Chains A and B, each alone.
Chain A
């Protein structure tokens, strides 16, 4: 009986292909929009998450100044850090895996007659750990090289490519902002960040070397800290803030002249944003499904009126109320489920195109597809019920007399 009803519903829908398609359009558009946005949203989140992970997810960045947006945000205006700050953090803060002080400079790197402008970073071996850099060839700095400020450097993949092409640069000498450095290592490539920055376009040398021989002071422009796994970065951050306030003699009602950026916090902000976005999408979906549902209800009511005589015949022949109710309910559910299926197909297609266009990963989530399908079916039940009940409650005599 149910099978017969389903076949009947398909036939009824096929009889009015044009009308049926227009009826489900609302649901198709709603479902497609949600599927597209959710799929693209997941792709974007995954991309940013991967990027943060490549920065080092347990990492805290400490810089002078008041953040990027705050008043007097230019980090140059505030007092820079010194070697003693780094030692204090390393010794007094619990739960830290590594501390990397760093200073950066833009400068020219010359090898032979090739010239390349890049970012020159001075730091320690800790930097490799904190930023999860691995070496493609060569070695990192030795303690004596760091202490003595030896003229050695490790090249980012882009710098190596620009200066040496396919040649092996290990052991070669390059001029970096006027001093001669020996290349001792090569970083494995990380590629572009989502902001379009080439992360491999940099050169690393010992902090002392950069400070003494290029910059000419002992300022440290940032400290990167890596918290141990399982340690709350929020706690580490608090401790660091307190320590630095003391060291920099900042009063209780004075604003910090440094800031700590917590990658895990950025990550959770991001997931929070994703959650808000999802809720918003849910609202969009609800509205469009409501509109789609009203469209279906409207057409089902028209259909019940058009088919009053048919209903009369069925009732006279011995159909029960529930038989007629089921017939029209199945019809509206089949109709709305079709809307859901088409919406899912269009949505996934649009998401695939969008992901390609925006160079993002396409992440298929079966969960949201299943939910979208069930919801569209549910719309058929909810909005088909009233017309179906109207049909089921018709008086057989009146219905038979209907023209």
Chain B
């Protein structure tokens, strides 16, 4: 079973999210309880429309729940203001998206530096850390390339470098391999696994490919806005 001694980072309690109001009200999450501990690698699975992305947005402090409490490192962030949420993202979270979401016509290095700029880190250190991050995803020789000059797999690796350059507490990835072929997907998963293993980075990843989910130590399944408790499996072989 899960190592109970590890510190709890995230605790969702009875989280609901309703889109729209009145007769158009549409519950996307209907009472989610979820605990994530430091160093976990969680795969979130489930059919399309089951609320995975909605839940990830709330976990990522990009959105707030309709009700319920969200404790991030013991602090309730469910009702923070926009700017307060932005500060949580800035200092504790890293994101990887299905569509890469890099800045166009901007070099790989500058893309990776972006979160450091908002953290107010001086130029020299910024360059150093961004270069190190790019090197850690195997793109040391692609610093000057813009997204348009990189393949999909390379773009997603730049995005990973950008997500981990700030040493976040949690890395959130919504279908990071959704736009990649199997070989490229495996490269991405190897990287995430390595960061999780070597740096103790907590990773929460949405995927609907069992092959990719298999890289995770724990899988949770969404169905109709609820987590299927029975399916919350920890793969024994990969458990820490």
A residues engaging B (CB < 8 A)?
1, 4, 15, 309-310, 312-323, 396-397, 400
A-B contact pairs, 30 of them (CB 8 A): A4-B117, A15-B105, A310-B103, A313-B102, A313-B103, A313-B114, A314-B114, A314-B118, A316-B62, A316-B89, A317-B95, A317-B114, A317-B115, A317-B118, A317-B162, A318-B86, A318-B87, A318-B89, A318-B90, A318-B91, A318-B115, A318-B119, A319-B118, A320-B87, A320-B118, A321-B83, A321-B86, A397-B57, A397-B62, A397-B63
On chain B, the residues within 8 Å of A321 by CB distance are 82-83, 86
User: Is the C-beta of B70 less than 8 angstroms from some C-beta in chain A?
Assistant: no
Decide: B105 and A316 in contact? CB cutoff 8 A: no
Q: A317-B115, A317-B118, A396-B62 are in contact. Are A312 and B87 (CB under 8 A)?
A: no
Residue among B91, B101, B162 with most chain A CB within 10 A: B101
Min CB distance A14 to B, Å, is: 11
User: Is the C-beta of B97 less than 8 angstroms from some C-beta in chain A?
Assistant: yes
Complex Cα–Cα for A394 and B105 (A): 22
Decide: B62 and A320 in contact? CB cutoff 8 A: no
Complex Cα–Cα for A4 and B83 (A): 21
Complex Cα–Cα for A1 and B126 (A): 13
User: Is the C-beta of B120 less than 8 angstroms from some C-beta in chain A?
Assistant: yes
Q: Which residue of the partner chain, among A1, A15, A320, A397, contacts B86 with CB atoms under 8 Å?
A: A320
> 4 additional contacts, CB 8 Å, given A313-B103, A321-B86?
A313-B102, A316-B89, A318-B87, A397-B62
Complex Cα–Cα for A317 and B105 (A): 18
On chain A, the residues within 8 Å of B115 by CB distance are 317-318
Q: A1-B117, A318-B118 are in contact. Are A312 and B83 (CB under 8 A)?
A: no
B residues engaging A (CB < 8 A)?
57, 60, 62-63, 82-83, 86-87, 89-91, 95, 97, 101-105, 114-115, 117-120, 162
Min CB distance B12 to A, Å, is: 18
Min CB distance A307 to B, Å, is: 9
List 4 A-B pairs, minimum CB-CB distance, nearest first.
A318-B90, A317-B115, A318-B89, A318-B118
On chain A, the residues within 8 Å of B95 by CB distance are 316-317
Min CB distance A7 to B, Å, is: 11
Closest to A15 in B: B105
Complex Cα–Cα for A318 and B114 (A): 10
Decide: A400 and B97 in contact? CB cutoff 8 A: yes
Decide: B62 and A317 in contact? CB cutoff 8 A: no
Q: Which residue of the partner chain, among A310, A312, A323, contacts B118 with CB atoms under 8 Å?
A: A323
Complex Cα–Cα for A310 and B106 (A): 11
Decide: A313 and B101 in contact? CB cutoff 8 A: yes
On chain B, the residues within 8 Å of A320 by CB distance are 83, 86-87, 118
Min CB distance A318 to B, Å, is: 3
Complex Cα–Cα for A313 and B62 (A): 11
On chain B, the residues within 8 Å of A310 by CB distance are 103-104
On chain B, the residues within 8 Å of A15 by CB distance are 105
On chain B, the residues within 8 Å of A397 by CB distance are 57, 62-63
On chain A, the residues within 8 Å of B117 by CB distance are 1, 4
On chain B, the residues within 8 Å of A323 by CB distance are 118
Decide: B101 and A315 in contact? CB cutoff 8 A: no
On chain B, the residues within 8 Å of A312 by CB distance are 101
On chain A, the residues within 8 Å of B90 by CB distance are 317-319
Min CB distance B129 to A, Å, is: 15
On chain A, the residues within 8 Å of B102 by CB distance are 313
Complex Cα–Cα for A310 and B87 (A): 18
Closest to A315 in B: B86
On chain A, the residues within 8 Å of B83 by CB distance are 320-322
Complex Cα–Cα for A15 and B60 (A): 33
Complex Cα–Cα for A154 and B62 (A): 95
On chain A, the residues within 8 Å of B89 by CB distance are 316-318
Decide: B120 and A1 in contact? CB cutoff 8 A: yes
Complex Cα–Cα for A323 and B63 (A): 19
Complex Cα–Cα for A312 and B99 (A): 13
Complex Cα–Cα for A323 and B62 (A): 17
Q: A310-B103, A314-B114, A400-B101 are in contact. Are A319 and B120 (CB under 8 A)?
A: no
Min CB distance B161 to A, Å, is: 13
On chain A, the residues within 8 Å of B57 by CB distance are 397
On chain B, the residues within 8 Å of A317 by CB distance are 89-90, 95, 114-115, 118, 162
Min CB distance B18 to A, Å, is: 15
Closest to B105 in A: A15
Complex Cα–Cα for A4 and B118 (A): 10
On chain A, the residues within 8 Å of B97 by CB distance are 400
Closest to A316 in B: B95
Complex Cα–Cα for A15 and B146 (A): 14
Closest to A403 in B: B99
Complex Cα–Cα for A310 and B117 (A): 15
Min CB distance B174 to A, Å, is: 10
Decide: B62 and A309 in contact? CB cutoff 8 A: no
On chain B, the residues within 8 Å of A316 by CB distance are 60, 62, 89, 95, 101
Min CB distance A240 to B, Å, is: 76
Closest to A401 in B: B99
Complex Cα–Cα for A397 and B91 (A): 19
Complex Cα–Cα for A298 and B29 (A): 40
Complex Cα–Cα for A323 and B162 (A): 19
Decide: A319 and B86 in contact? CB cutoff 8 A: yes
On chain A, the residues within 8 Å of B118 by CB distance are 314, 317-320, 323
Complex Cα–Cα for A396 and B93 (A): 15
Min CB distance A389 to B, Å, is: 13
